[in-house]
């Protein structure tokens, strides 16, 4: 699994960014393209622009949130990890694009370079590019360097589509290889068109293009301080899902909860008519969920995710805090052949919301062992302590879901103990 | 996290380079000390009224006593030591531009003493010179064909005076010429 994750990113980048460079190289002999300092700088600038724009386009395709991405990326949440990387890479390439193009005038004079960088409304085709770049810069500074409230950040990020539109105007009006080489033109415009389609799919046409399930809120229960359980009944057709998956929820027309879309793990048993999610009040949005009204309509998109998909014979489950939710669902679906030892790590006993449910399952299932780990008294749960309890880690599949630092540190500890990376599965919620 | 480092470095390089270039090229730019000849103004006579006391100037290797800028006169300046050519009816002395032409010295030399209109507009068939290039060209203007030598800027070109600062790399190997001499 890890191999697939590691190579998918370079493959994706090569698949989209290399073709335009090859088409560009085929249009004019390379010895002319790199015939001197100025010519070479211009060529490098052009290559950077083509690669940057292709990756920029690719990033919009990734936001289409298609079900097939689950298989390609081994979990939809990983799409966003890749989106983040590709976005940063595209931006870096696009920053260097005008720089290289301007530096080609250096042999003439520094002033000549300066004049190239000066904005001029005569060169509207260049101005489109500058507008795109500056808008990207503002949006990405907000993404990389400034901590915004999630819904504010998300709103700001949507303007990337505007930046992309300006970039598109730039590539169709600039007199360069894209205007001169027909194959290159087809590629860049074709790719950009797919991106516009993806943008439209997710924004303007989302109401009728994207499939949603309609559910109604049946009950809202407070399981513990700051932990809310929401149960829903389907209004039309029920969503079928696998244990361990998640879905996007949007509660509409509720007096207390905004109609923002948020992903939650599905905590209920897949065959049951009632859908259940358990949410921790971590931020502005989740803090309003305890006041959700019964009867509110929920639009659900999903299911997504590949966590806990396989049925390995020997498994260790490690749940941290609210990360217990996918395991809860999965525990109901254990086959008799599966041997599972589950560690549920909480700070204090009050936090252990589904303890009873899990203990009941451990009594009825012969090979499911449940261990509640209260870090307040037992100390932090470490890989070493897990090994002490479990014994041999060889041949065991480990699944971890919890706070990001906990997942990362446990993964490191296991790897240090010789557990191979592809035996460890984690479910990261953070970049959804 | 790794990609954030790349983004940070790229942003830094971008802003550092553009700021440095804009400051050096525009703010600290020294006006060209070299003056052209005194204008003959609106006279279109055959009298030579050249001011011989000019400093080094954009016009070099000029022939004292020349009156009108005819094609024949321009044709005399057909070498590296004194290179004039005509573009769209205007005469330019580009002797000081050798070593600075991104297209190489040979492409300049080929046009010395001649009408370079087509060569300039089509870059020998590979596309037109940029607006930047047109701006730079205007500083080498010495007069209209059929007129006298003047220090007025040509009226229909963009009036930007650019000082020919010493090139960063005075390497003729930089350009795609086969022979540079």
CA distances from B75 to A58, B66, B82 (A): 57, 13, 10
Mean pLDDT, residues A352-377: 90
pLDDT above 90 (res B124): no
- Identify whether the C-beta of residue B120 lies closer than 8 Å to the C-beta of residue B39: no
Q: What pLDDT is recorded for position B77?
A: 87
CB contact under 8 A, B25 and A37: no
Number of Cβ atoms within 10 Å of the Cβ of B126 = 9
Separation CA B16–CA A18 (nearest Å): 29
The number of CA neighbours under 13 Å toward the Cβ of A317 is 32
Interface touch A99/B24, C-beta < 8 Å: no
Q: Provide the pairing of β-strand A424-426 with A397-401.
A: parallel
pLDDT in tens, A76-93: 888 988 999 999 999 999
pLDDT tens digits for range A323-337: 999 999 999 888 888
Cβ-based contacts of B12 with chain A (< 8 Å) = none
In B46-178, which residue ranges form alpha helices assigned H by DSSP?
A: 71-75, 105-109, 117-122, 131-138
Record: contact B102-A102, CB cut-off 8 A: no
- Per the CB < 8 Å rule, is A95 touching B14? yes
Question: Which pLDDT belongs to residue B123?
Answer: 67
pLDDT band at A67 (very low <50, low <70, confident <90, very high): confident
- Among A88, A108, A137, select the one facing B136 at the smallest CB separation: A108
Residue with the bigger pLDDT between B138 and A257: it is: A257
Average pLDDT over residues A212-219: 95
- For residues B97-101, give the mean pLDDT: 78
pLDDT beyond 90 at A187: yes
| pLDDT at position B38 over 60 | no
* Contact call for residues A139 and A131 (beta carbons, < 8 A): no
Q: Measured between alpha carbons, how far is A100 from A231 in angstroms, rounded to an integer?
A: 57
Q: Average pLDDT for residues A186-194, to the nearest whole number? A: 97
Q: Do B162 and A112 touch (CB under 8 A)?
A: yes
pLDDT value, residue B176: 39
pLDDT at A410: 92
Tell me if A36 and B100 make a contact (CB, 8 A cut-off).
Answer: no
What is the pLDDT, as a whole number, of residue A303? 92
Q: Is A334 helix (H, G, I), strand (E, B) or coil?
A: coil
Cβ neighbours for B39, distance < 8 A, ≥ 6 positions apart: B150, B151, B152
The predicted pLDDT at position B151 comes to 57
CA torsion, ordered A379, A383, A385, A388, to nearest 10 deg: 180
DSSP A408-430: HHHHHHHHHTT--GGGEEE---T
Q: Work out the minimum CA distance from A219 to partner chain B, whole angstroms.
A: 40
The answer to whether A259 and A242 have CB atoms below 8 angstroms apart is no
Report residue A4's pLDDT band, with 50, 70 and 90 as the boundaries: low
Residue of B7 and B26 predicted with greater confidence: B7
Report pLDDT digits (tens) over A15-38: 999 999 999 999 999 988 998 899
For residues A149 and B54, give the distance between their C-alpha atoms in angstroms, rounded to a whole number: 68
pLDDT higher for B24 or B66?
A: B24
- Give the pLDDT mean for B67-92: 83
Proportion of chain A above pLDDT 90, given as a percent: 59
Q: Which DSSP category does A285 fall into?
A: T
Check residue B58 and give its pLDDT.
40
Q: How far, in Å, CA of A10 to CA of A336, rounded? A: 40
- Terminal-to-terminal C-alpha distance of chain B: 53
Lowest-pLDDT range of A150-159, A216-225, A258-267, B160-169: B160-169
Chain A residues closer than 8 Å to B22 by CB: 114, 117-118
Mean of the per-residue pLDDT values of chain B: 66
Q: Do the Cβ atoms of A400 and A296 come closer than 8 Å?
A: no
The number of beta carbons lying within 10 Å of the beta carbon of residue A98 is 21
Model pLDDT for residues A286-331, shown as the tens digit of each residue: 899 999 999 999 999 989 998 888 888 889 999 998 899 999 999 9
Q: How far apart are CA A394 and CA A429, in angstroms?
A: 28
Confidence at residue B170, expressed as pLDDT on a 0 to 100 scale:
37
Does pLDDT of A12 surpass 70?
Answer: yes
Residue B135 with chain A: CB contacts under 8 Å: 115
| Of residues A91, A106, A111, nearest to B163 (C-beta) | A111
Percent share of chain B, pLDDT over 90:
11
Strand partners, B83: B78
Chain B residues with a Cβ under 8 Å from any Cβ in chain A: 3-4, 6-11, 13-14, 17-18, 21-22, 24-26, 29, 100-102, 104, 127, 131-132, 135-136, 160, 162-165, 167-169, 174-176
Q: What is the H or E stretch that residue A72 is in?
A: helix A68-73
**Cβ separation of B21 and A114 shorter than 8 Å?**
yes
Q: Which of A125-139, A317-331, B43-57 has the highest mean pLDDT?
A: A125-139
Phi, psi of A164 (to 5 degrees): -65, -40
Beta strands in A185-338 (DSSP E): 213-224, 227-234, 246-252, 261-265, 274-280, 297-304, 314-320
Q: Which residue has the higher pLDDT, B180 or A41?
A: A41
Measured CA distances, A114 to A96, A122, A162, A283, B21 (Å): 16, 16, 28, 47, 6
Each residue's pLDDT tens digit, A99-120:
999 999 888 888 889 989 988 8
The answer to whether the CB atoms of A110 and B24 lie below 8 A apart is: yes
| pLDDT at B178 > cutoff 60 | no
Rounded distance, CA A79 to CA A73, Å?
Answer: 6
Residues of A in contact with B18 (CB under 8 A): 99, 102, 117
- The CA distance from A56 to the nearest CA of chain B, in Å, is 14
Query: To the nearest whole angstrom, how far is the Cα of B60 from the nearest Cα of chain A?
Result: 20
Is residue A233 predicted with pLDDT exceeding 60?
Answer: yes
What value does the mean pLDDT of chain A take?
A: 91
Q: Is B10 in contact with A91 (Cβ distance < 8 A)? A: yes
pLDDT tens-digit readout, B142-164: 777 877 766 555 544 433 334 34
Q: How confident is the model at residue B65 (pLDDT cuts 50, 70, 90)?
A: very low
DSSP H or E run through B142: strand B141-144
């Amino acid at each position: 699994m890890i191999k697939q994750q590691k190579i998918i990113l370079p493959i994706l980048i090569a698949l989209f960014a290399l073709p335009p460079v090859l088409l560009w190289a085929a249009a004019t002999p390379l010895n002319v393209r790199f015939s001197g300092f100025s010519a070479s700088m211009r060529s490098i600038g052009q290559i950077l622009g083509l690669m940057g724009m292709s990756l920029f386009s690719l990033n919009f395709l990734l936001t289409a949130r298609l079900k097939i991405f689950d298989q390609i990326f081994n979990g939809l949440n990983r799409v966003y990890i890749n989106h983040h990387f590709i976005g940063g890479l595209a931006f870096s390439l696009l920053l260097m694009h005008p720089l290289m193009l301007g530096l080609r005038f250096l042999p003439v004079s520094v002033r000549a370079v300066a004049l190239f960088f000066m904005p001029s409304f005569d060169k509207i085709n260049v101005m489109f590019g500058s507008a795109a770049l500056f808008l990207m810069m503002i949006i990405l500074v907000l993404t990389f360097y400034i901590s915004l409230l999630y819904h504010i950040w998300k709103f700001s990020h949507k303007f990337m589509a505007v930046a992309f539109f300006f970039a598109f105007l730039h590539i169709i009006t600039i007199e360069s290889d894209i205007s001169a080489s027909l194959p290159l033109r087809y590629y860049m415009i074709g790719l950009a068109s797919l991106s516009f389609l993806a943008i439209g799919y997710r924004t303007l046409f989302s109401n009728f293009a994207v499939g949603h399930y309609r559910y109604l809120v049946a009950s809202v229960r407070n399981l513990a301080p700051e932990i809310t359980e929401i149960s829903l009944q389907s209004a039309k057709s029920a969503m079928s899902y696998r244990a361990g998956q998640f879905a996007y929820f949007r509660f509409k027309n509720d007096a207390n909860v905004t109609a923002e879309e948020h992903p939650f793990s599905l905590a209920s048993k897949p065959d049951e008519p009632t859908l259940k999610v358990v949410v921790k009040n971590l931020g502005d949005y989740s803090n309003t969920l305890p006041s959700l009204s019964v009867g509110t309509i929920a639009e659900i998109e999903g299911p997504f995710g590949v966590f806990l998909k396989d049925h390995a014979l020997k498994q260790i489950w490690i749940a941290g805090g609210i990360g217990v939710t996918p395991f809860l669902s999965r525990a109901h679906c254990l086959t008799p052949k599966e041997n599972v030892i589950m560690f549920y790590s909480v700070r204090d006993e009050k936090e252990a919301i589904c303890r009873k449910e899990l203990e009941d399952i451990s009594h009825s299932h012969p090979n499911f062992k449940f261990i509640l780990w209260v870090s307040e008294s037992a100390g932090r749960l470490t890989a070493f302590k897990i090994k002490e309890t479990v014994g041999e880690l060889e041949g065991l599949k480990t699944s971890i879901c919890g706070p990001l630092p906990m997942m990362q540190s446990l993964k490191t500890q296991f790897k240090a103990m010789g557990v191979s990376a592809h035996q460890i599965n984690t479910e990261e919620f953070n970049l959804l | 996290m790794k990609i954030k480092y790349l983004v940070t470095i790229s942003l830094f390089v971008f802003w550092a380079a553009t700021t440095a270039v804009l400051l050096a090229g525009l703010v600290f730019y020294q006006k060209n000390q070299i003056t052209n000849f005194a204008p003959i103004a609106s006279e279109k006579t055959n009298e030579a009224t050249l001011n011989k006391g000019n400093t080094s100037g954009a016009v070099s290797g000029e022939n004292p006593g020349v009156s009108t800028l005819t094609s024949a006169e321009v044709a005399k300046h057909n070498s590296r030591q004194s290179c004039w050519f005509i573009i769209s009816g205007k005469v330019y002395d580009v002797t000081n531009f050798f070593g600075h032409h991104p297209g190489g010295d040979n492409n300049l030399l080929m046009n010395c003493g001649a009408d370079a209109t087509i060569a300039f507009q089509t870059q020998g068939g590979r596309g037109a010179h940029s607006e930047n290039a047109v701006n730079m060209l205007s500083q080498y203007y010495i007069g209209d064909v059929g007129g006298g030598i003047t220090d007025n800027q040509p009226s229909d070109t963009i009036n930007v005076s650019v000082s020919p600062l010493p090139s960063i790399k005075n390497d003729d190997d930089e350009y795609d010429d086969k022979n540079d001499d």
